[in-house]
Structure 1
Amino acid sequence: MRRILIFFMVMAISASFPARGSSDSFTTDEILFGFEKTVFGLEYRNWGWRPYLVKKFTSPVRFYIHNLSRRDRTRTVRRFIGEINRRVTGLTASIVNRPADANFEIFVVDRKQYKPVVRTDVYKNPKARVPGRCLVRVVSGHNGIKHSSAVIVSDEGEFLFRRCLVEEVLQGLGPMNDNEKLPHSVFNDSSRHSRFTVFDQIILNMLYDPRIKPGMSIKQTKDFLPLIARDARRRVR
């Protein structure tokens, strides 16, 4: 039986000044470094296997939005999903009407709901420890990501909500590591980004290039990754 791997990512936020840029603002080396650090790694490494392999969806991503918070954030979440669909070539994202039809569920909660929702709907364990200020769970196998679930806190300010939405949903698509040496990226808990940055658009376009396959190691991508970075940069404006 093929092994299915489950990953959890949590988020902590600190402050610095945001860095903006266009697709030609970064060197190829910066882009390759960013891809390596976000795609080939996990923020939490207690898995007992080699986690440093490509994780991505290989079928259309079907989102379902559970808006459980007092404030209805559905429109904002739908708009961000639409942005992903427009900006990432090779990934098709849609919103479905039933949780049973989804392979990516987004739970928008108030803080008091965070732990119960994570334990009941994500961990499936009423006694589980619940870390972080928001969270994504990714179930991945040999043929790619099977299911992701993101839990986004709505009632602790606009910055936290938007930051959590962007980072956790993008990480649920595959680039699951954070790195403090990525100033242009939301995949850096020391940054103040709360949007889908140009740098991160390039990373996602590289990941969803059809030449990048689930289960690939960094060694297997080394020879053609600069070409993929060049092509992704051209697609991102």
Structure 2
Amino acid sequence: MQGFISPPKTRPASPGSFPALLNSAARRLFRLATVALVSLTIASVPADAGSLSHISDAQLSHGFLMTVFGTEGRTRSPRSRLRKFEQPVRFSVEDRTGKGMDRKVADFIARLPRIVPGLDARLAMPGEKANFDVIITTRANYRARPSLASLSGELPGQCATVMHYGRSSIRQTTSYIVADEGAYLFNRCMVEEILQGLGPINDDNSLKLSMFNDTSHYQRLTAFDRAIVNMLYDPRITCGMTMADVTPLLPQVIRDVRRKLR
């Protein structure tokens, strides 16, 4: 948020004088203008945090289990195992459109450690191996990728994330973000695919407060989704856990996440 310059100091006038009344009116106008400026500035900031106060523990628990266990288009199984990055997450960003959209993606990646406190995530340094690649592409090139079409019988979604697993954790993620169909789709794909590439890969239409829902219209990070990713990267939630392992831990994890994101 940009600061503002305080009005110049004036010599106090005697009580009841016209300059005092004028200064009093000016101060009131200044306070009103300041409130309006702050409100406008806050409104223009992406709604990254929001409040969890209107979201119940049951909703967060349900959302976690729906997004973390299973993948889109596949039936969930009680034997499904939790996957996330165990190693530091190092990103590479490649803009194949020439539109300079990589800067916006890099800005979002730079904010991830604030979105998920404790997550070791940043852009890879020169010569450092990335384990999370973000590829910005056009719709035509997205449709033409055989690696995506082979994931299922038809091309998945508006954008896509492909994950490769080690024994129990995520080894490599690649997210494809379409950049030539407007700001709304680009912003939604960028946030959703990068967050899902960290582990909560499944979309579910029952999650009304989430971007992890193909029928929702969010294009910015929601409080619900931020909580889900923070729950996933809580140290008590470990790779290889099943739903049965995770479920009894969720009440305390949710309480701690609420305190952390307050």
- Partner residue in 1 for 2:38: none
Q: 1:188 is matched with which residue: 213, 218, 226?
A: 213
- Partner residue in 2 for 1:26: 55
- 1:57 aligned onto 2:82: no
- Partner residue in 2 for 1:79: 107
Q: Return the offset for 1:227.
A: 0.3
For the pair shown, the structure with the greater C-alpha radius of gyration is 2
1:49-78 deviation line (CA, Å, top 9, x unaligned): 977221100111000001111311111101
The runs of 4+ residues in structure 1 deviating greater than 2 Å are 49-52, 97-100, 122-125, 128-132
- Partner residue in 1 for 2:28: none
Q: 2:234 is matched with which residue: 188, 196, 209?
A: 209
1:131-177 deviation line (CA, Å, top 9, x unaligned): 33211001113241000000000010111111111111111110011
Match of 1:62, SS? strand
- Partner residue in 1 for 2:200: 175
User: Is the 8 Å Cα contact of residues 108 and 152 (structure 1) preserved in structure 2?
Assistant: yes
Q: 2:69 is matched with which residue: 13, 31, 40?
A: 40
Normalized per residue, which structure has more strand? 1
Q: Return the offset for 1:89.
A: 2.5
- 1:114 aligned onto 2:142: yes
Distance 1:162 1:51, change over 3 A: farther
CA distance in 2, matches of 1:99, 1:150: 21
Letter paired with 1:77: V
Q: Return the offset for 1:112.
A: 2.0
Match of 2:248, SS? coil
CA distance in 1, matches of 2:107, 2:58: 32
CA distance in 2, matches of 1:22, 1:123: 36
Match of 1:83, SS? helix
- 1:219 aligned onto 2:244: yes
Size of the aligned set, in residue pairs, is 213
Alignment of 1:101-180 (within 5 A): 101-116=129-144, 118-119=145-146, 122=147, 130-180=155-205
User: Is the 8 Å Cα contact of residues 42 and 51 (structure 1) preserved in structure 2?
Assistant: no
Gaps spanning 5+ residues in structure 2: where? 1-46
Identity %: 39
Letter paired with 2:111: E
User: Is the 8 Å Cα contact of residues 64 and 98 (structure 1) preserved in structure 2?
Assistant: no
Distance 1:139 1:46, change over 3 A: farther
Match of 1:169, SS? helix
1:95-154 deviation line (CA, Å, top 9, x unaligned): 0245871000000011222134x33xx5597xx963332110011132410000000000
CA distance in 1, matches of 2:78, 2:124: 33
Match of 1:69, SS? coil
Letter paired with 2:248: D
Q: Return the offset for 1:230.
A: 0.9
User: Is the 8 Å Cα contact of residues 188 and 220 (structure 2) preserved in structure 1?
Assistant: yes
Compute the RMSD of aligned alpha carbons.
2.5
- TM-score normalised over the length of structure 2: 0.75
- 1:92 aligned onto 2:120: yes
Gaps spanning 5+ residues in structure 1: where? 1-17
- TM-score normalised over the length of structure 1: 0.82
CA distance in 2, matches of 1:62, 1:26: 32
1:15-37 deviation line (CA, Å, top 9, x unaligned): xxx9x951222111111011111
Letter paired with 1:175: P
Distance 1:123 1:159, change over 3 A: closer
